[in-house]
């Protein structure tokens, strides 16, 4: 297994990897280009909600913390050692005095380039010809499915579910690199496990096993369930070794057992973090990520599917160590995608990497030998393989170009009014570190990532009992949504210290103006956006009803007496 990479290959890899990362960043560039003094771009185009959670995690690192607390909910929760990738980025932002959004994208680029380099390294372990290394790399890095065709012909197996090419970030390398640094970090560690363990199988050097074990342990604080993919690859390498050697070596089984044993303490601590404390238990209970019907995975794999099946057969027949490992990775991951677990689809992470490798095996060891039998077609071999790469990548190109075009139009979901942003920033400077804000879901999405403060509602997963709370907030700001007594009681029980009234709370004529409640003291006002401090709790109000009634409204007093 000669995995030497020449300087010329590294130069080619550097240029192509930079182009891939630049293409993945087009939507962000378009968003910042469309920003105006009146409308502020949030920082990403794809999956803004989770981006807000990640920035909120970075805020906690910025404050010097190494554990994560839920900020999109007001229930008390003990900090836990999770989301460490973003907490670490927050510390880096503090050390280097960088803006959080800039740090986020620098992290995405650095880790993304590392992932692309490791993908090429894996291809170099598999193939001698440079052409096949490059084809496998391009397929693994850019391939997607048939989602673009499904959109063009307007056909969906389930009208409620879009093609996975455009929402299942985990599965596609390009999609992952375009969105989340922690996905890149996990992919980098998984590839480190794969390459190191394959080298251990080949050489028997303990140092490779140690590196595999370290990479596996490092995955757990970032995304604990993803370590199962690394273990799956190591198990696949043992099967591949058995296929190649014709026997199972005891040392390989012991090494695999030791790998899992090294991870066990951290996995136990992580599981305990989500099973102790009512708040974290409730959070874990609603953190559900089930797989779509199998047809969506089949269409999402696209043309890589039949090529990978062909390549898997070739790898098995030829006893190819890396090829059989990739085959086991693919089959095992698809099985885990329907295991009886809450986070099924997370096991599809980076699936285009083994699929791209197997597809390149099919092209190099199946298609090219057949083509070379026909001399008149021989010279077309490289071009035809490049056309396969192009045919496998339209959804990735569509995702990048389409998202950039969308961002350039300054859409409301991605941009915030500048006065609202200034109000939130003011709150971050004047509120207490443990204060919380009552706001609509849309406004609440801004608060933790910009200030590190808590909000009553703001994220479908991070906010406990999200649906109920979202309805409560809507009722509070709707003129006929609650009685005054209900509003008073709600303010007392919501765990908030501040109330905001802006375009997403009072954009309709029938909105309730919280300024009519005298337990709210106006602290900030700009262009129709107001921030109120809650200065009186409902328990005191019952004993002093006149305190909170403006204009001596006797109807409120009668309502309290009832």
Which pLDDT value is given to residue 544? Answer: 42
Interval 352-386: pLDDT, tens: 999 999 999 999 998 877 777 766 666 677 788 88
The pLDDT-based confidence of 559 (bands split at 50, 70, 90) is: very low
Q: What tokens does 80 get? A: 């836990």
What CA–CA distance (Å, rounded) separates 445 from 415?
12
pLDDT band at 271 (very low <50, low <70, confident <90, very high): confident
pLDDT (mean) for 143-152: 90
Check whether 212 has a pLDDT greater than 50: yes
Strands 39-41 and 436-438: unpaired
What is residue 361's predicted lDDT score, i.e. its pLDDT?
A: 95
pLDDT tens-digit map of 85-95: 999 999 999 99
Q: What is the arithmetic mean of pLDDT over 508-527?
A: 84
Helices and strands (H and E) in the chain: how many: 29, 7
> First vs last Cα of the chain: how many Å apart?
83
Predicted pLDDT of residue 555? 41
User: In Å, how far from its chain's centre is CA 128?
Assistant: 35
**What does the pLDDT read at residue 377?**
63
Domain with CATH 3.40.50 in the chain: 416-561
Closest CA to 277 of 71, 463, 78: 78
pLDDT tier at 46, thresholds 50, 70, 90? very high
Instruction: Tell me: pLDDT of 63 over 80.
Output: yes
pLDDT at residue number 12: 96
Angle at 351 between CA 107 and CA 387, to 5 degrees: 95
Lowest mean pLDDT, pick from 81-95, 97-111, 530-544: 530-544
User: Cα–Cα distance between 238 and 241 in angstroms, integer?
Assistant: 5
311 vs 279: which has the higher pLDDT: 311
The reported pLDDT for the residue numbered 479 is 86
Percent of the chain with pLDDT over 90: 70
Mean of the per-residue pLDDT values of the chain: 89
Alpha-carbon distance of 53 to 68, in angstroms, equals 11
Is the pLDDT at 546 greater than 80? The verdict is: no
By percentage, how much of the chain surpasses pLDDT 70?
Answer: 93
Of the pLDDT bands very low, low, confident and very high (cuts 50, 70, 90), residue 538 is very low
CB 145, CB 175: distance < 8 Å: no
What class, spelled out in words, does domain 416-561 have in CATH? Answer: alpha beta
pLDDT tier for residue 540 given thresholds of 50, 70 and 90: very low
């Amino acid at each position: 297994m000669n995995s030497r990479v020449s300087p010329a290959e590294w130069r080619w890899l550097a240029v192509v990897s930079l182009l891939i990362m630049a293409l993945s960043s087009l939507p962000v560039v378009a968003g910042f280009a469309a920003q105006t003094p009146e409308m502020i771009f949030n920082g990403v185009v794809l999956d803004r909600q989770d981006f807000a959670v990640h920035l909120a995690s970075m805020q906690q690192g910025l404050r010097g913390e190494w554990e994560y607390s839920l900020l999109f909910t007001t229930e008390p929760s003990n900090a836990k050692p999770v989301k460490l990738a973003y907490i670490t980025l927050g510390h880096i932002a503090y050390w280097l005095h960088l803006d959080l959004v800039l740090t986020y994208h620098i992290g995405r680029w650095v880790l993304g380039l590392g992932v692309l380099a490791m993908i090429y390294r894996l291809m170099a372990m598999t193939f001698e010809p440079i052409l096949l290394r490059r084809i496998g790399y391009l397929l693994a890095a850019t391939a997607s499915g048939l989602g673009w065709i499904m959109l063009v012909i307007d056909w969906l197996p389930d009208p409620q579910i879009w093609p996975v090419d455009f929402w299942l970030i985990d599965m596609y390398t390009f999609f992952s690199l375009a969105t989340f640094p922690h996905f890149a970090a996990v992919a980098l560690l998984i590839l480190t496990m794969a390459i190191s363990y394959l080298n251990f199988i080949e050489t028997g050097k303990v140092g490779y096993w140690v590196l595999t074990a370290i990479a596996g342990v490092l995955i757990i604080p970032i995304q604990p369930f993803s370590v199962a993919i690394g273990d799956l690859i190591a198990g696949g390498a043992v099967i591949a070794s058995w296929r190649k050697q014709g026997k199972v070596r005891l040392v390989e089984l012991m090494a695999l057992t030791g790998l899992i044993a090294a991870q066990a303490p951290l996995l136990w601590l992580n599981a305990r973090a989500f099973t102790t404390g009512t708040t974290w238990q409730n959070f874990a209970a609603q953190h559900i990520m089930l797989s779509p019907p199998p047809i969506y995975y089949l269409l999402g794999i696209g043309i890589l599917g039949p090529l990978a099946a062909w390549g898997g057969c070739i790898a098995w027949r030829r006893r190819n160590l890396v090829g059989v490992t990739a085959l086991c990775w693919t089959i095992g991951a698809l099985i885990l995608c329907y295991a009886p677990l809450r986070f099924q689809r997370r096991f599809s992470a980076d699936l285009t990497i083994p699929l791209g490798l197997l597809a390149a095996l099919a092209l190099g060891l199946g298609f090219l030998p057949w083509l070379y039998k026909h001399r008149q077609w021989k010279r077309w071999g490289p071009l035809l393989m490049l056309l396969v790469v192009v045919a496998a990548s339209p959804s990735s190109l569509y995702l990048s170009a389409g998202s950039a075009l969308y961002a350039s139009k300054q859409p409301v979901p991605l941009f915030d009014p500048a006065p609202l942003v200034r109000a939130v920033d003011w709150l971050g400077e004047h509120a207490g570190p443990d204060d919380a804000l009552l706001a609509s879901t849309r406004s609440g999405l801004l608060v933790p990532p910009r200030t590190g403060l808590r909000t009553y509602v703001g994220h479908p997963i991070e906010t406990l009992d999200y649906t109920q709370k979202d309805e409560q907030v809507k009722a509070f700001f709707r003129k006929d949504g609650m009685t005054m007594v209900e509003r008073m009681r709600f303010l007392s029980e919501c765990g908030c210290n501040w109330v905001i009234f802006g375009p997403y709370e009072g954009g309709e004529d029938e909105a309730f103006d919280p300024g009519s409640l005298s337990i709210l003291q106006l602290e900030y006002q700009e262009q129709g956006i107001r921030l109120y401090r809650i200065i009186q709790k409902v328990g005191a109000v019952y004993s002093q009803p006149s305190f909170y009634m403006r204009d001596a409204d006797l109807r409120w007093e009668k309502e309290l007496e009832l």
